[in-house]
Each structure stands twice: as structure tokens, then as C-alpha cells.
Amino acid sequence: MKPGATLLIASLIATAITPCVEATKPSSSVGKSVNKEGWPPTPFDATAERLPPGYSGNNPTAFYRFFEKKTESMRKGEFETSDEYEARTLDLPRAIAPLNPGALYAFQIKKFERLSRFEYDPDQEVFHTPRYGYGCGTTKGPYNQWTICEVDEIVGKYDAYTGRNAFGSSRDVSRTRATEFALAIDITSPWYGQLMTSNGAGFQDSFSIPLARAKALPKEPISVLFVGKIIGASFIEGSPTIISPTIDQPYDVVVLRQAIPFEVKEVVYYVKKTGEILAKREFH
């Protein structure tokens, strides 16, 4: 082995951290539920001119739990013939009952509001997404028919431990274990073609609001709803975020993403506090 290669490997080993003392700080687990709606969920009313104050769409936690069970049940049974399996899985109304494949469901994209947000241009009197757009991810594995747009974190556990590298240096490490619920949107869909950036890294949009009206809006992020139809009965796994801790970057992160196949029919921009709809985009 060349001396330079030996030095590089030694450097990597020196910075890598492994746990030596667990939970030096209290852990916190977060289970999020957006709406306390019953099941089956209420479809979205696309004719509504205004949303209820505080509206946050359908409950992503309830959908996650439902599809978690559905994904397991959609696997081929040990004594199930191929014809029986195909008939069962291709019958979408049966596969996702009591959900209705013809109904519209709405999800508030809370991650957009936290990471991107709309910006207002007073000269043009236009709200617009940031220049880089809102990033949607890819699927896990080589087959990339879908883009994965995160809705919100469903379950999160956060704690810390003391880690030590190969040379005995120690560091407090922040640990994250989380699962996000997402929407898997076909890259051949009208939504993707009209709103995604040319490199597929994020969606961008803008809409006009007169300056006086923009000034009167509540001082809170504009909320975003993706409204559409469910087009599959099993989760599509998004690319996870995995970060291994080092001395310089003491973060131990694993975030999994589970997405439901979804056809976006509308994007709604609205003020959550009042339910006022600012703009809509429709896709046919």
C-alpha cells in the first residue's frame, strides 16, 4: 500500500466516532398528528373558496399507519398463486379500501414552510419560492420513476451519547432517528413538468398578490397543500439521510422516508390561520 493511502485511512479512523456511553442526555420522542380526524379521512373539497381556519389537510400520521399495514399485506402470500396475487394487487379500490381512489386528499407540506418559504417582491407584487426551489428527493435504489416530496416527520427520537474514536478522543454526539411521511409523484406527471426545476432538484412557483393585500396578511409563512389522488397501495421508499459522526461533525443521523404513490391535481397556497386561499394551480 502506498504511504499516502495509509495516511488517509489512518486519518479517517481517527475522526470516526463510535458510542461508548449511551444516553448522556435525556432522549425525546416525538409522534406528530396534524389533524384529529377520524378514519376514513374526509376527502378534500376542490370547490371550496375558503378553507376552515387552522386547516392542515389530512392527517399524515394516520395515512402513514394505514399504508404501513397495507404495504405488509400487499406482499405475495406463501400459498397465493401469481394470478391471485396480480388480481388482488391490481384492484386499487379493493387494495386501499376504505380510501377512495377517485377522491381528492390534501396534505400540508410542512417541510416547505420550515425550509423554504415564499418571498415577496414588492416591485413585481409577486410571491415566489426561493431561487433554488423546494427540494424533493429521489427513491431508494436505481429505478427513479418518482420524486419524493416530504410532508412531515411522523416519528422522531432525539438523544445524545458520548462517542470515542480510535485514538481515544471523545465527543458528545447528537443522535437523530426519524421517519418522514412523503408523497411519491411520477416524474412524467403534469405537476412535475410544470413546477419542477429543469434539473429535478426542487419545485418553483410564483403568484401575484397586490402590495396592499400582501401587507395585510398575517405575519406567518404561506402554507402549501398538495391535493390529489392515491394511485398505489404500497409505500415507495425514498432515499434516506444517513450521517455518521466524526470529531469535527458530532452528528449521528438516520432519517427514513416512506412515500405513498400520489397524483397531484392541485397545489393550493393559503393562509393557515384564516383559511384564506391566495392562489391555486391545477393539473390535468
- pLDDT beyond 70 at 263: yes
96-107 tens-digit pLDDT: 999 999 999 999
Instruction: Provide the residue ranges of all domains of the chain, joining segments of one domain with +.
Output: 17-282
pLDDT score, position 121:
96
- pLDDT beyond 60 at 25: no
- Per-residue pLDDT band at 22 (split at 50, 70, 90): very low
pLDDT score, position 30:
41
Q: Mean pLDDT score of the chain, rounded to an integer?
A: 85
pLDDT score, position 20:
53
Grid cell at residue 106: 390534501
Residue appearing with cell numbers 402590495: 211
Q: Assign residue 101 a region (left: φ > 0; alpha: ψ between -120 and 50; beta: otherwise).
A: alpha
Q: How many CB atoms lie within 10 A of CB 171?
A: 16
Tell me how many degrees the CA angle 86-43-33 measures, rounded to the nearest 5: 95
Most confident of 125-134, 189-198, 252-261: 252-261
For the chain, strand residue ranges (E) read 18-31, 105-108, 119-121, 126-128, 134-135, 137-138, 146-164, 170-186, 202-203, 206-208, 223-230, 236-243, 251-270, 277-282
Cis peptide before 98 (omega within 30 of 0): yes
Find all residues with CB under 8 Å of 227, minimum gap 6, and list them: 44, 46, 104, 105, 106, 264, 265, 266, 267, 268
* Separation CA 263–CA 260 (nearest Å): 10
Give the predicted TM-score (pTM) of the model: 0.83
Q: Could you give the 3-state DSSP secondary structure of residue 166? A: coil
pLDDT score, position 172:
95
pLDDT score, position 13:
39
42-87 tens-digit pLDDT: 999 999 999 999 999 999 999 999 999 988 888 888 899 988 888 8
- Per-residue pLDDT band at 14 (split at 50, 70, 90): very low
pLDDT score, position 17:
67
For range 86-115, the mean pLDDT? 89
For range 7-24, the mean pLDDT? 47
**Least confident window among 18-22, 31-35, 85-89, 96-100:** 31-35
- pLDDT beyond 90 at 217: yes
What is the DSSP-derived secondary structure letter of residue 152? E
Percent of the chain residues past pLDDT 90, beyond the cut: 59
Q: How many CB atoms lie within 10 A of CB 7?
A: 10
- β 236-243/277-282 pair status: unpaired
